A and B are shown apart, each in its own frame.
Chain A
Amino acid sequence: MNSAQHEAVSPRAIVAGHGDFAAGLVSAVEQITGRGSLFIPVAVQRLALQEIEQLLRSSMLDAGVRVIFTDLQAGSCTMAARRILRGMDDAVLVAGANLPTLLDFAFADAGSPAQAARHAAERGRGAIAVYEAAP
């Protein structure tokens, strides 16, 4: 058995956003790489702003992670995460994350979490493309 196929990985980041965004992205990472357990999906559908902040903060502290990916600049999770960053100097937020972002982060085995997050953000930004039918 190839040990890489059943590699145990500790969480390195939180993923949070609207609806089932987080669970969907993490399940996609798992399907593609088998490294879905690097990410903790957080759902916030029933929660008010303060409760979202508490949940994200406790999720980060419990897992010992300092990176959080969210979906939308104006979203509640992004707002809550930015408040968390204010008192957590080593934390990093990537807002507007997509699947290529998380895939890049999943394979960032070297460097600090902040470096990995910045690199992943660039990869995610560059992975958006538009194709039009040829005339």
Chain B
Amino acid sequence: MSLVLYRIDDRLIHGQVVVGWGQPLDIGFIVLVDDEVAVSEWEQELYRMGVPPEMDVYFHGAQDAPAALAQYRTDPRPGILVTGDIATMRHLVDNAAVDDVNVGGVHFRAGRVQRLRYVFLSPAEEDELRDLAAHGARVSAQDVPGARPIPLDELLAGVGR
């Protein structure tokens, strides 16, 4: 089955990922690409304890993730890859042939404007998303499987719907 979802989510592994997507897609593993978590055993244990025992969690930094993705793509189980920011996903688009990006959650912070209920973006982040698309990735926003995927142009035109 390989990786079935490449998701940008600043909450990393949480309820929407584990339950919202994990159950309907019958997810067997999650790949978290995050430089801070990748060097912290304590953080990794925190995330492992939050998922069901039958679900594996693997951790990588941005630099070593592209090489590791080849192995995950041959895994017979369906899996989800999560990055905490757009820049890390951009690295994977450029270096690991990620061609379909799900914007699942970028939350409020000073300098960001609300585009959707669950997406707040700074002007620089909007440019980063445009870059993802310019580099060949299909970009859409969708927090949970039952929601309508919102294409990038519609996302960037959003005013907090």
Contact = CB atoms under 8 A, between A and B. Distances in A.
Contacts of B108: 46-48, 51
Contacts of A118: none
A49 to B, nearest CB: 5
Most B CB contacts (10 A, CB to CB) among A18, A73, A74, A86 go to A74
A125 interface: no
B16 to A, nearest CB: 9
B13 interface: yes
B73 interface: no
A75 interface: yes
Contact of B50 (A52, A79, A83, A86): A79
A72 interface: yes
B120 interface: yes
A74 B120 contact: no
Contact of B46 (A47, A72, A75, A82): A82
B15 A48 contact: no
Contact of B107 (A46, A74, A83): A46
Give the secondary structure class of B's interface. mixed
B11 A49 contact: yes
Contacts of A49: 10-12, 14
Contacts of A79: 11-14, 46-47, 50
A18 B15 contact: yes
Closest 10 CB pairs of A and B: A74-B50, A48-B107, A74-B18, A46-B108, A48-B10, A76-B14, A75-B15, A76-B11, A72-B15, A49-B11
A47 B114 CA distance: 12
Nearest to B112: A48
A75 B46 CA distance: 11
Interface in B8-48: 10-15, 17-19, 42, 46-47
Contacts of B106: 48
Contacts of A86: 42
Given A72-B19, A75-B15, A46 B50 contact: no
B107 A51 contact: yes
Interface in A67-92: 72-76, 78-79, 82-83, 86
15 contacts: A46-B107, A46-B108, A48-B105, A48-B107, A48-B108, A49-B10, A49-B14, A51-B107, A72-B19, A74-B13, A74-B17, A74-B51, A75-B14, A76-B15, A79-B47
